[in-house]
Amino acid sequence: MTGKSYRQRKIDVEPAFGNLKANVAFNRLSVRGKDKVTQELGFVFMALNLRKLRKNRKDTSQKIRKNKHSEMTLIIFERLFYFKRLFGQPLH
């Protein structure tokens, strides 16, 4: 990789993983193997996207009242993700 590629990586990739470590306490994967790691990271990023969506909807719902059912669905998915993270780690 060139210096330009590394500079771009700092902008594109590193903040996402820094957010995972600092704000979500996601420091370690609970699976092994490329396919399983890809799947777990997919769930992690999906949960982060749901979190962003919920925040954006919350900001806009102060102006316009949104559908309560879809808001509850987002909250349930987010809580299920954190429940899996909490109880999916091996006890050391």
> What is the tens place of the pLDDT at every residue in 37-75?
898 888 888 888 888 888 877 766 655 555 666 777 777
| Domain residue spans of the chain | 3-87
The 3-state DSSP class for residue 72 equals: helix
Q: Which of the four pLDDT bands, split at 50, 70 and 90, describes residue 34?
A: very high
List of E strands, the chain: none
Q: Which of the four pLDDT bands, split at 50, 70 and 90, describes residue 22?
A: confident
State how far the alpha carbon of 89 is from the alpha carbons of 27, 29, 40, 56, 84, in Å. Answer: 11, 8, 13, 30, 8
40 exposure class (CB count in 10 Å sphere: 0-12, 13-18, 19+): middle
Question: Helices 68-87 and 34-61: crossing angle, nearest 10°?
Answer: 140
Can you tell me the mean pLDDT for 33-40?
Answer: 90
The Cα 7–Cα 66 span in angstroms is 41
Task: Decide: pTM greater than 0.85.
Answer: no
* Of 81, 9, 10, the residue nearest 49 (C-alpha): 81
